[in-house]
Amino acid sequence: MDEDIREITKKKLSEGWIKSWMMIEALAINKETVDSALNKHIEKIEKEDKSIVIKKEFKETKTVESPFEDVKEAHSGIVELEILTETLDKLFFIVINYGPSAVEILEPEKITIDMGEAQGILNSMADIIHKFAAATMGGLGVET
């Protein structure tokens, strides 16, 4: 990590930002599709407001034998990120909208949020649940 990024990280953490690590995976029939998709995906994350990607490491794309019943061979790519987000709500937004396979909050050790931010997170959760429900059955199933 270069000195500028260290300074930005130190400053943002002192302002209450959150530092996280995440891993994003992609799987496709051809290698170029995986590499292109991951690059575009990370470029979109880098454009998000209230967040700063401070590190990105693209791992070597690997061939995977029989990833699915009808697929003989595919290619798997992984990118690991370290990202700063201004709020927990923003981190939650990134996780929901960019689908990392794993997330770890690195700093700070404790996070305090106010009621408005907690409500924002809960409303984001409700929104995504309703989107999934609408996509699969036209609404949220409720037992009677």
Q: Which of 46-60, 110-124, 128-142 has the highest mean pLDDT?
A: 46-60
Judge whether 144 lies within some domain. no
Q: Is 138 left (phi over 0), alpha (psi -120 to 50) or beta?
A: left
Q: What is the pLDDT of residues 11-23, one digit of tens each?
A: 999 999 999 999 9
Alpha carbon 25 to its chain's center: 10
Indicate whether 51 belongs to any domain: yes
Return the pLDDT at 142. Answer: 54
Count of C-beta atoms within a 10 Å radius of residue 33: 16
CATH number at residue 92: 3.30.70
- Residue 43: enclosing H or E segment and its boundaries? helix 31-46
- Domain presence at residue 67: yes
Query: What would the two tokens of residue 16 be?
Result: 């209450």
Q: Which of 29, 38, 17, 32 is nearest to 67 (CA)?
A: 29
Q: Is the residue at 143 inside a domain?
A: no
Q: Is residue 114 part of a domain?
A: yes
Q: How confident is the model at residue 1 (pLDDT cuts 50, 70, 90)?
A: low
- Provide the token pair at 96: 């929901």
Domains of the chain: total: 1
In a domain, 79, yes or no: yes
- Tens digits of per-residue pLDDT, 60-104? 999 988 888 888 899 999 999 999 999 999 999 999 889 999 999
pLDDT at 141: 52
* Radius of gyration, alpha carbons of the chain: 18
pTM: 0.85
> Domain containing 59: what range?
3-137
101 in a structural domain? yes
Residue 133 within any structural domain of the chain: yes
